[in-house]
Structure formats: structure tokens, C-alpha cells
A and B are shown apart, each in its own frame.
Chain A
Amino acid sequence: MIGNFPYIAVIIFIGLGIYTLMFKRNLIKIAIGICLIENGVNLFLITLGFRKGAVAPIYTLAPSGQSMVLPTPQALTLTSIVIGIATTALILSIAMMIYKHYGTIEVNEVRRLRG
């Protein structure tokens, strides 16, 4: 169980994100919730790639005689981080646009989003 502690951290991240999305009614808080889920998933991917006592998978002046951690999750996480930046930027711009039209970022005061 204690060996799986990083996975527990991951699900706490994701759980907090889902909680925020379900129970908070503020556009910025919803954006924060999405960021939390995203960080949880990124942490999950990176955690999968770890190997005990290994170094980063780069050969330039690497310490000799040690194994290397798995490189694929790092590449995947890099991709998903950039995608996360894009998502956050778009969702915040949309929130700004909603603020421009309605003068509020509370979901309850915006007509269609209430449902």
C-alpha cells in the first residue's frame, strides 16, 4: 500500500478536480478544476515511467553504469502539458467573453448554463 503512495496522490488530484467541477458554480473555479485533473493525469503518466535508482534518459555526460528511467511517459507528458496550456487558455478566454456579455462569472446568473 505504501509503495503505491504516488498513485494515491494522483487520485486525490483527480478527485479534487472532479469535486470542483461538480459542486462549484464559478467559471474560474471550473477552470481550476480542469487544471487539477490535468495535473493529476500528468503526474500519473510520469509516475508510471519511474524506475528505482535510475537516471534521466539523456546520454550527454550521463553518470556511467546506471539504468535509465522509461522515456515514453516523459514524451507523452510533454505533449499533454502543451495540450493543457492550450485548454486553459481557451477556457479562460471563453470565461472572459461570458463576463463581457453578462457581467458575471457565476454560473447561476448565466441563463443557459444553469441546467
Chain B
Amino acid sequence: MKEMSKIVRNVTNLVYGFIIIFGFYIIAHGHLTPGGGFQGGAVVASAFALLLISYGQLNAKKFLNINIFSLLESCGLTMFIVVAFLGLGTTFFYNFLANSGSWFGNMVIPGINPGDMNTAGVLPLMNIAVGLEVFAGLGIIVLLMADGAEFTKKKENS
């Protein structure tokens, strides 16, 4: 994949930060508004895909590192399963923080309400864990497939 024109690169520079922030917004508000870990993670990963195609694969390798992504992915999944394990006092996946008064533990007003970030127990934690996993995972997929495409093209030319 070659570097694209200067217009594309400049627009990418302008936009990708906003895309990432929007993705994290979706992840963080998963328990209040439409969205959640998967959707937000996919949005963040699309920012990486944008960087990859506008800067070309070789240049993008300088700031997108597969090893870091792979570490983040494992961390996200481990965090997810550890949160599930923490409920093991009662059952696996027990929502031990909901309505407890501590972290994310406010009582929610039944019925229609404007929404409170500090509710829903382990759901926000799991959203963050899954968001981390999904954006790192999709990032790895995109980078690896770009590598593979480059390799097959090289073989075609030779």
C-alpha cells in the first residue's frame, strides 16, 4: 500500500483524534446510551484503519505496533475474565458492584431518567475491557492483513 496524497493525509491528521475520542465516548457511555464496548472498539479501530490506508503500510508501522496491540488485547480479555472471577463470591459474572454504593454503585431511579454515569456496577468495567480488546484486536487484524496483501503483491511482481 502506497502513501496517499497530501490532502488525504492532512484530513486524516485532523480527523483521527476525534474518531478515537468518539469511540472512547461510546465505550464509556455504554450503559446509558446506545453503544458499548464492541461498537466503540470498532470505531476506534476504524481510526487506525484510516491511518493505515492514508499513510501507507510502511509509514504506519512507525506508530502502529502489533506487539503493543497484542499486549493490550490480552490485557483487555484478562481484565474481562478477572472482573467475572471477582463475582465468584456468589457466582461467576455476578454483578457485585451494582446498587452497592461504592464504584459505579449508585441506585438508579426506576423509569425514565436523564442518566447517571456512576451506576450499573461491573457493566462499565466490562465495557472498557471489551472495548480495549476489540480495538486492539481489530487493529491487529487490519495490520496483519495489510502485511499479507503486501507480501502477495510482491510475489506477483517477481
Which residues from chain B contact A60 at a C-beta distance below 8 Å?
A: 32-33, 113-115
The answer, yes or no, to whether A56 is at the interface (CB within 8 Å) is: yes
Known contacts being A82-B38, A93-B144, A100-B155, is A61 close to B112, with CB within 8 Å? yes
Category for how many chain B residues contact A: 20 to 34
Complex CA–CA separation, A93 to B152 (angstroms):
12
Interface residue A32 (Cβ < 8 Å from any Cβ of B): no
Residues on B with C-beta less than 8 A from A99 are: 152
- In this assembly, does B141 line the interface, its C-beta being within 8 Å of a C-beta of chain A? yes
Q: Which of B104-158 contact A (CB under 8 A)?
A: 111-115, 134, 138, 141, 144-145, 148-149, 151-152, 155-156
Residue of B whose beta carbon sits closest to that of A56? B34
Q: Is A62 an interface residue (CB 8 A)?
A: yes
Q: Nearest-CB distance from A54 to chain B (Å)?
A: 14
Is B149 a contact partner of A96 (Cβ separation < 8 A)? yes
Of A61, A82, A89, the residue contacting B115 (CB under 8 A) is A61
User: Chain B residues with Cβ under 8 A from A96's Cβ?
Assistant: 145, 148-149, 152
Question: Is there a chain B Cβ closer than 8 Å to A64's Cβ?
Answer: yes
**A100–B152 CB distance below 8 A:** yes
Q: How far is the CB of A71 from chain B (nearest CB, A)?
A: 12
The answer to whether residues A62 and B112 also contact, given A93-B145, A96-B145, A96-B148 and a CB cut-off of 8 A, is yes
- Cα(A4)–Cα(B144), bound, Å: 43
Most A CB within 10 A of own CB, among B112, B144, B156: B112
Q: Assess whether A78 is interfacial by the CB under 8 Å rule.
A: yes
Q: Which residues does A use to contact B, with CB under 8 Å?
A: 56, 58-62, 64, 78, 81-82, 85, 89, 92-93, 96-97, 99-100, 103
Would you give 22 A-B contacts (Cβ < 8 Å), ordered by A?
A: A58-B32, A58-B34, A59-B115, A60-B113, A60-B114, A61-B112, A61-B114, A61-B115, A62-B112, A64-B112, A78-B36, A85-B138, A89-B141, A89-B145, A92-B145, A93-B144, A96-B148, A96-B152, A100-B151, A100-B152, A103-B155, A103-B156
Task: Identify the B interface with A (CB < 8 A).
Answer: 32-34, 36, 38, 111-115, 134, 138, 141, 144-145, 148-149, 151-152, 155-156
Q: What 5 A-B pairs come out closest when comparing CB atoms?
A: A60-B115, A96-B148, A60-B32, A89-B141, A62-B112
Taking A96-B148, A100-B148 as given, write out 16 further A-B residue pairs in contact, using a Cβ cutoff of 8 Å, ordered by the A residue number: A59-B113, A60-B32, A60-B113, A60-B115, A61-B112, A61-B115, A62-B112, A82-B38, A93-B144, A93-B145, A93-B148, A96-B145, A96-B149, A97-B148, A100-B152, A100-B155
